[in-house]
């Protein structure tokens, strides 16, 4: 995006101008989530890889947003996004 701007070419008495805009590619999931099975009481970690680092993501369970709490830890480092479900129960399925 830093290359966007007005470019000119000065040809003595004439000037050519061009406005350049750069559109970033949308962020994509490059490595999908994998299905997990765990005994009750253990932590479960889900992670995916994204095409860009440090983008704003949201986690959902059955269409409802998940927020950081004692039950859920949300981590993001570079292009990896991780959800940790602590002390899993059957309700976490």
Which pTM value belongs to this model? 0.75
Q: Please state, rounded to an integer, the average pLDDT across all residues of the chain.
A: 94
Q: Render pLDDT for 44-88 as a digit per residue (tens, 0 to 9).
A: 999 999 999 989 999 999 999 999 999 999 999 999 999 999 999
- CA 27, distance to chain mean position in Å, is 7
- pLDDT interval class at 12 (50, 70, 90): confident
**8 Å CB contact between 76 and 54:** yes
The end-to-end CA distance of the chain, in Å, is: 42
Mean pLDDT of 29-33: 95
For the purposes of burial, counting CB atoms within 10 Å of the CB of 92, is it exposed (0-12), middle (13-18) or buried (19 or more)? Answer: middle
Q: Angle at the Cα of 46 (from 48 to 68), degrees rounded to 5? A: 105
Q: Which domains does the chain have, with CATH numbers?
A: 1-7+27-92 (2.60.40.10)
């Amino acid at each position: 995006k830093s290359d966007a701007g007005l470019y000119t070419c000065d040809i003595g008495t004439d000037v050519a101008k061009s406005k350049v805009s750069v559109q970033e590619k949308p962020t994509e999931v490059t490595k999908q989530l994998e299905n997990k099975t765990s005994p009750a009481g253990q932590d479960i970690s889900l992670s995916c890889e994204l095409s860009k680092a440090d983008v704003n993501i949201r986690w959902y369970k059955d269409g409802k947003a998940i927020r950081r709490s004692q039950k859920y830890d949300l981590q993001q480092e570079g292009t990896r996004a991780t959800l940790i479900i602590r002390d899993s129960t059957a309700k976490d399925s």
